[in-house]
Amino acid sequence: MITLEVEGMTCSGCVASVETALKKADPAAKVAVDLPSGRVEVDGSLSYEAAKDVIEATGFDVKG
């Protein structure tokens, strides 16, 4: 499982966008997004860099 700190998520629509994008990249992944903390956990086959690229492609910044 990887954990990413995401900046710029402000609403449930943002959460849905991130979840949808990650699930599209890895349909078998389990994705958990915590809006207040900005943390995204991905349990699947994506590497940290791949998950970061997917999230950044949706318009959000990933710390680190």
- Helix spans in 1-64 (H): 12-25, 48-57
pTM of the model: 0.93
Task: Decide the pairing of beta strands 61-63 and 39-43.
Answer: unpaired
Question: Which token pair is 26?
Answer: 């890895």
If one counts the domains in the chain, the total is: 1
Q: Tell me, what CATH number does 22's domain have?
A: 3.30.70.100
Tell me the per-residue pLDDT of 17-61, one tens digit each, with 9 for 90 and over: 999 999 999 999 999 999 999 999 999 999 999 999 999 999 999
Q: Residue 64: is its pLDDT beyond 90?
A: no
In angstroms, the CA 5 to CA 62 distance is 6
**Domain enclosing residue 47, as ranges:** 2-63
DSSP class of 6:
E
What span, in angstroms and rounded, lies between the C-alpha atoms of 63 and 44? 20
